[in-house]
Amino acid sequence: MALDDTGARKRRTPKRSQDPEGTRRDILETASREFALNGLSGARIDEIAARTKSSKRMIYYYFGDKEGLYLRALENAYQQVRQGESALDTEGLSPSDALRRLVEFTFDHHHEHEEFIRMVMIENIHHGEYIDKSDVIRDLNVTAIDHIAEIYRRGVAEGVFRAGLDPVELHWQVSALCFFNVSNRATFSKIFERDIGTPAMLERLKDNSVEMILRFVAAE
């Protein structure tokens, strides 16, 4: 017995995911690990598809192409760190305690999200080519500067921070201290035969990072 047109269409229509957002999220998380491990050129869409039980066609449908997936994974990595910063309750804290909490959060986040650090390192290899294409990342980092600028402004107004510092440069200093802890941990540990990744060492390095930043901004 022949199928009518409706039956034929039902048989030909591929089964769609019941959770498209969950599928996209799974692809992004898997892609982030793949890009962090192998870089943009070394990452394989076939591998990402296999690990997410999806297909190359589905990945291309959601993200356009390999470079589109890489850029979206990069944006997602920045969104995570900026969302964490935004969730920090610093308004009720003194400027020094607010800045301390921000540095501690940045240190812990970088330690817990090595993929983020590796992807930023890879993007630097590409001279920021893909970040330059992203209004999303640009807007996200504006909010990050606004946050640290407000803490710094309060500190200057209360006389506990010295005037004349650039909030972008202050953000750079915080990032540098926390970023290096992850990016160079393996080489530093091997060269000096000291495990930089132990809990005790990480706690000490975090305290040192906080102290250096607070001394840097302290009023004379």
pLDDT, tens digit, for every residue of 20-36? Answer: 888 888 999 999 999 99
In a domain, residue 66? The reply is no
CATH number of the domain that 143 lies in?
1.10.357.10
Are the CB atoms for 96 and 160 separated by under 8 Å? yes
In a domain, residue 46? The reply is no
Cβ density class 34-71: b for 16+ within 10 Å, e for less = bbbeebbeebebeebbeebebeeebbeebbeebeebbb
* C-alpha–C-alpha distance, residues 81 and 13, integer Å: 40
In a domain, residue 204? The reply is yes
In a domain, residue 25? The reply is no
The segments of the chain whose pLDDT lies below 70 read 1-18
Q: Which two tokens stand for residue 152?
A: 């710094």
Residue 53: predicted pLDDT: 83
* C-alpha–C-alpha distance, residues 210 and 146, integer Å: 20
Residue 8: predicted pLDDT: 45
Report the number of distinct structural domains present in the chain. 1
Residue 194 main-chain phi, psi, to 5 deg: -140, 125
Nearest to 102 by CA among 85, 82, 79, 80: 85
In a domain, residue 93? The reply is yes
Q: Which two tokens stand for residue 203?
A: 């706690």
Are the CB atoms for 169 and 148 separated by under 8 Å? no
- For residue 146, CA distances in Å to 137, 169, 170, 171, 174 come to 14, 13, 12, 10, 15
Q: What is the pTM of this model?
A: 0.84
Residue 18: predicted pLDDT: 65
Query: Which residue type is seen at 62?
Result: Y
- Full residue range of the structural domain in which residue 96 is found: 71-217
In a domain, residue 112? The reply is yes
Are the CB atoms for 76 and 70 separated by under 8 Å? no
In a domain, residue 90? The reply is yes
Q: Which two tokens stand for residue 91?
A: 């308004």
